[in-house]
Structure 1
Amino acid sequence: MDPSTYKRYHIHGHDSRQFLEHYVSDKPDMVFGEDILMFPIKSLTNVFTEGHIKGDILFDISFGSQIHHLFAACEFFKDIIVLKVQDRCILELKRWVDKRTGAFHWGHAAKLHVDIEGKSHQSEDKELKARSAIQHVVKCDLQKENMTEPIVLPPADCIISAWLLDGISKDQDDYIRYLRKFSRLLKPGGHFILLGCLGITYYTVGRDKFHGFTYDENFARKALEAGGFIIDECKVHKRTAVSDLTDYKAMIFIVAHKK
């Protein structure tokens, strides 16, 4: 299939529930558990339990309607504000936050978190705390100067961006431009946590293939520096999943702070 025909996440959108079922569910045939669930959960839990990243406000500017990466943050920030580019993803996420019928089941991700924390009996508490912390889910337009116009958000103590840049960036300049926009949402010295896929060119949802921006660890480091960040930690997890749904080579996890 010609890569130029791949769809674009922020332009065409995708079936948010089908994406979750493919990549982060607890189904027996879901092969991405080690890469997309366990690696981020372990990495984020370790970072937040160190205790130096915390505050009042955390922005989550991430891909799709995934929230498993937020379970680690919910006890370290008073308010989590989630920014989404797609209405479908907002509806999917709000269905879970509001405990509506038919919401996606995140119990397996909550259990992974509490098992890592050594609190295996508290998975329901973890979901409750996450729901309480997610105060707002806001539509954003990444092309606008104020992405949440007409809403003006206060500066954040921390931003998590998981896999979004992989899906929306068309080239290196685009990736750096978005990083700079994210930097403007942070307080000076605020932390930025990035999760991404190295070497990806596509991912599949249903019958559709979607564009993935291809980059390596060296580019990710240089892009963050160009975006106004100082890197504190960087980890790479080589792919373990066997599947043709997507072709990423590894996962990257970076913690940085704004200059």
Structure 2
Amino acid sequence: MDSSSYKLYHVHGFDSRQALDHYFSDKADMVFEEDSLKFPIENLTKTFTEGHIKGDVLIDLTAAPLIHHLLSACEFFRHIIVLKVQDRCILELKRWLDTRTGAFDWGHATKLHLEKENKSDQSQNKEGKVRSIVQHVMKCDVKKENMTDPIVLPPADCIIIGWLLDQISKDQDEYIRYLRKFSGMLKPGGHIILLGLLDVTYIKVGKDKIHSLKYDENFARKAVVEAGFVIDNCVTKKRTNVIDLTDYKAIIFIAAHKEK
């Protein structure tokens, strides 16, 4: 398949449950546990427990209906506002938040998180905490100046951007423009946490190949700095599996604060 025929996540969407099964589940054939579950959980837990990133409002801007990255964050913020570009992701996430029948089971991710905290017997409390602190799940349009128009969100203390920039950016210039736009949602001195895939061109969900922007660690660092941030921590991890669902070479985690 030529890359020009790849689908765009924010335009065409994808099957959100298949995305969870492929990349975040505990199914026997899910080979991404080290990269998509353990790596984010370990780095987020370490980052938040250091105590520098906390406050009233966290804005979550991640691709797919994910919650495992919020298991650490929920202890350090009073409110979490989740923004999604696709209705299917909102429906999937709300199914879990409302504990409806057929909701995706995040128990395996919660267990991994609690093992990092040495609290393996508190899974229901941890998931309940996430459910109670997620105040709003909202549709957003990344092309608009105010992505949640007509609603104006309060300035955030922190924004988590998980894999979204990879999939909505057609080129590196657009990646930086989006990053600057997201920066405008932060308070002065606020923090950004970025998760992305390095040297990737696509991810596959079902029969669809979804465009992903190819870039390396140097570009990611440069983009964060050009968007007005000071990098506090940057960690990369080489891919640990071989499967044709996606072609990324490594995963990156960046924590940074906005210059005042």
TM-score, length-normalised on structure 2?
Answer: 0.99
Partner of 1:33 in structure 2? 33
- Per-residue deviation, 1:161: 0.4
Partner of 1:69 in structure 2? 69
Partner of 1:176 in structure 2? 176
**Pairing of 1:12-27 with structure 2 (within 5 A):** 12-27=12-27
3-state DSSP class of the match of 2:80? strand
Partner of 1:230 in structure 2? 230
3-state DSSP class of the match of 2:149? coil
**Pairing of 1:111-126 with structure 2 (within 5 A):** 111-126=111-126
Partner of 1:147 in structure 2? 147
- For residues 241 and 85 of structure 1, the distance between their equivalents in structure 2, rounded to whole angstroms, comes to 29
- For residues 76 and 43 of structure 2, the distance between their equivalents in structure 1, rounded to whole angstroms, comes to 15
Partner of 1:221 in structure 2? 221
- For residues 127 and 146 of structure 1, the distance between their equivalents in structure 2, rounded to whole angstroms, comes to 31
Report the residue type matching 1:173 in the other structure. Answer: D
3-state DSSP class of the match of 1:131? helix
Unpaired runs of 5+ residues, structure 2, are none
- For residues 237 and 60 of structure 1, the distance between their equivalents in structure 2, rounded to whole angstroms, comes to 23
3-state DSSP class of the match of 1:53? coil
Question: Is 1:203–2:207 an aligned residue pair?
Answer: no
Unpaired runs of 5+ residues, structure 1, are none
3-state DSSP class of the match of 2:204? strand
Partner of 2:92 in structure 1? 92
Report the residue type matching 2:84 in the other structure. Answer: K
Partner of 2:163 in structure 1? 163
* CA distances 1:133-171 after superposition (whole Å, capped 9, x unpaired): 111001100011100001110000000000000111000
- For residues 230 and 49 of structure 1, the distance between their equivalents in structure 2, rounded to whole angstroms, comes to 20
* CA distances 1:215-247 after superposition (whole Å, capped 9, x unpaired): 000000100111111111000011002211000
Calculate the aligned-residue CA RMSD, in Å.
0.6
- For residues 208 and 180 of structure 2, the distance between their equivalents in structure 1, rounded to whole angstroms, comes to 30
Report the residue type matching 1:6 in the other structure. Answer: Y
3-state DSSP class of the match of 1:240? coil
Partner of 2:47 in structure 1? 47
- For residues 232 and 46 of structure 2, the distance between their equivalents in structure 1, rounded to whole angstroms, comes to 14
Report the residue type matching 1:14 in the other structure. Answer: F
**Pairing of 1:124-135 with structure 2 (within 5 A):** 124-135=124-135
Counting aligned pairs with the same residue, the percent is 70
- For residues 110 and 133 of structure 2, the distance between their equivalents in structure 1, rounded to whole angstroms, comes to 15
3-state DSSP class of the match of 2:42? helix
3-state DSSP class of the match of 1:83? strand
Structure 1 stretches of 4+ with a deviation exceeding 6 A read none
Report the residue type matching 2:64 in the other structure. Answer: G
Q: How many residues align?
A: 259
3-state DSSP class of the match of 2:31? coil
- For residues 235 and 217 of structure 2, the distance between their equivalents in structure 1, rounded to whole angstroms, comes to 9
- Per-residue deviation, 1:66: 1.2
3-state DSSP class of the match of 1:182? helix
- Per-residue deviation, 1:51: 0.9
Report the residue type matching 1:212 in the other structure. Answer: S
